[in-house]
Amino acid sequence: MKIVTGQVMAEVDRISIQDRGIPSLSLMESAGRATARHFHRCCGDPSARVLILCGKGNNGGDGLVAARNLLGFGYRPRVLLTHSPEELSEDSRINFERYRCLPLSRWSVWDPEQGDEVFEGNPVVLDSLLGTGAKGEPRSPYGDLIERANDCASWCFGVDIASGINSDTGEVAGEAVGCRSTLTFGLPMVGHFRWDGIDYTGTLSVADIGFPKDVTDRVEAEAELITQEWAREKLPRYTRSVHKGDRGRVLIVAGSAAMLGAAVLCARAVVRSGAGLTTLAVPKSLNASIKGILPEVMTLPLPENDNGEFSEEALEKILSFADSMDSIGVGPGLGRSEGVRSLVRGLVAKTDLPMVVDADGLFALSDEEGRKILKGRSADTVLTPHPGEFLRLCGEDLGMEDLKKESWERCRALSKELE
């Protein structure tokens, strides 16, 4: 699934309405209904105190539609408007009137003199204050309400994107609503995943509200999100007559005396992912322990140094064994000795199998020579660095805060460099 900027989603919205003739009220109705359904799935308790914070823009209109539909689920939500009904956007004002005329509707306009009265009882807060177009630090009354929601709500639910997050970058300037769950529409946005945005988004779900597929198919993606549907399409389907030899042969090179657990967790994950035959190459002193912990995994015990790490002599045996494998994983818990460094470099340089490199495997390649080795590989190579490993791998004088701001751009640049 594509991940796009808020600007791109605004353009999708514009094309759908102006060029394709989809009424903006219809899109708002679909978004609000989807919000109510998903909120009900998350909350599941119609007796819960629900406070819906509605801004004056169309994001607030989504919240007003959700309020009307939540009445149908048995909830008694209270709507709190940031501005008077006359100041709402046209579509939001229409949906406010639709909500207001219902017998069970409850609403008020935010009055700072009220203090925290509307937040009494720690309500569940449905946040539809600010949408994808909001940039910079939220001004009053939005900033005040965001702060109160974070202080007083039992938990918060975000509509489209948590208020206070820049949808294009994920930056939070000032305060943002800390959501347990967020429902967005059409496509997820960069702000849901980058910088601080991911910490405020909670569990993200995406609802189809009727944007034309050919429009969303054409827009430029900043990144791709791996979904269950995507994985389902990629994973092979097997018949009942399948046997382990049909499910792939994986070699894992991992572990040392000090970090046996890394090898165990890695091999266990490979087996669980569906590999037919998994072999774990380990320093020979770990072999008996591995067999006791993972009877389903075959082992390849190899020469080690005095610290219980692989020695350089292990390389030729690994290369010989790899001839019968389909893919290799290398790195977790290897240690950082010169022998391990030589082994990793030799293995990466001399095998043409698809490979995943992680942890200490990345450390062994984190210099100019290591990057040359990676660049020289012809087979698919997946690198899985955490931020610190990524900084070493880049070989640049880059701080953690800089990486936080530029993580996707830096990842693209490094990937291109190593192609």
Could you tell me if residue 409 is inside a domain? no
> Using CB atoms within 10 A of its CB, is residue 338 exposed (0-12), middle (13-18) or buried (19+)?
exposed
Q: To the nearest whole number, what is the mean pLDDT of the chain?
A: 94
Question: Could you give the C-alpha distances from 318 to 67, 68, 251, 373, 374, in angstroms and in order?
Answer: 62, 64, 9, 18, 18
Mean pLDDT score, 223-230: 91
CATH of the domain at 35: 3.40.50.10260
Question: Could you give the C-alpha distances from 43 to 49, 71, 108, 133, 206, in angstroms and in order?
Answer: 11, 14, 23, 28, 17
pLDDT tens digits, 336-388: 999 999 999 999 999 999 999 999 999 999 999 999 999 999 999 999 999 89
Residues 185 and 50 grouped into a single domain: yes
CATH of the domain at 287: 3.40.1190.20
Could you tell me if residue 213 is inside a domain? yes
How many domains would you assign to the chain?
A: 2
Domain edge (last residue) among 181, 207, 232: 232
Query: How many whole angstroms separate alpha carbon 313 and alpha carbon 318?
Result: 9
Matching residue, tokens 């791998």: 393
pLDDT tens digits, 254-304: 999 999 999 999 999 999 999 999 999 999 999 999 999 999 999 999 999
Could you tell me if residue 391 is inside a domain? no
Residues 104 and 249 grouped into a single domain: no
Could you tell me if residue 393 is inside a domain? no
Those residues whose C-beta lies under 8 Å from the C-beta of residue 228, and which sit 6 or more positions away, are none
Beta strands 2-3 and 223-224: pairing type? antiparallel
Residues 263 and 379 grouped into a single domain: yes
More confident residue, 229 or 332: 332
Residues 63 and 185 grouped into a single domain: yes
Query: How many whole angstroms separate alpha carbon 85 and alpha carbon 56?
Result: 8
Q: What is the pLDDT of residue 245?
A: 86
> Between 58-72 and 24-43, two packed helices, what is the crossing angle to 10 degrees?
50
Residues 221 and 278 grouped into a single domain: no
Where is average pLDDT lowest: 228-237, 308-317, 361-370? 228-237
Beta strands 355-357 and 155-159: pairing type? unpaired
Q: What is the pLDDT of residue 285?
A: 96
Beta strands 2-3 and 50-54: pairing type? unpaired
Q: What angle do CA 256, 258, 262 make, to 5 degrees?
A: 65
Could you tell me if residue 406 is inside a domain? no
Residues 315 and 189 grouped into a single domain: no
Domain edge (last residue) among 232, 262, 295: 232
The helix (run of H) or strand (run of E) holding residue 266 is: helix 260-273
Alpha-carbon Rg for the chain, nearest whole angstrom, is: 27
Q: What's the whole-model pTM score? A: 0.85
Residues 206 and 292 grouped into a single domain: no
Q: What is the DSSP string of 21-65?
A: ---HHHHHHHHHHHHHHHHHHHH--TTS-EEEEE-SSHHHHHHHH
Residues 175 and 315 grouped into a single domain: no
Q: What is the pLDDT of residue 317?
A: 96
In which domain, by residue range, is 113 found?
Answer: 2-232
Could you tell me if residue 395 is inside a domain? no
Q: What is the pLDDT of residue 195?
A: 83
Residues 11 and 140 grouped into a single domain: yes
Residues 91 and 168 grouped into a single domain: yes
> Between 338-350 and 368-375, two packed helices, what is the crossing angle to 10 degrees?
20
Could you tell me if residue 392 is inside a domain? no
Q: Which residues pair with 183 in a beta bridge?
A: 159, 205
**Strand ranges of the sheet holding 78-81, from the earlier edge strand across to the other edge:** 107-109, 78-81, 50-54, 124-128, 155-159, 181-185, 203-207
Could you tell me if residue 396 is inside a domain? no
Residues 299 and 218 grouped into a single domain: no
Domain edge (last residue) among 191, 212, 232: 232
Query: How many whole angstroms separate alpha carbon 41 and alpha carbon 157?
Result: 12
CB 167 within 8 A of CB 161: yes
Residues 277 and 131 grouped into a single domain: no
In percent, the amount of the chain with pLDDT more than 90 equals: 84
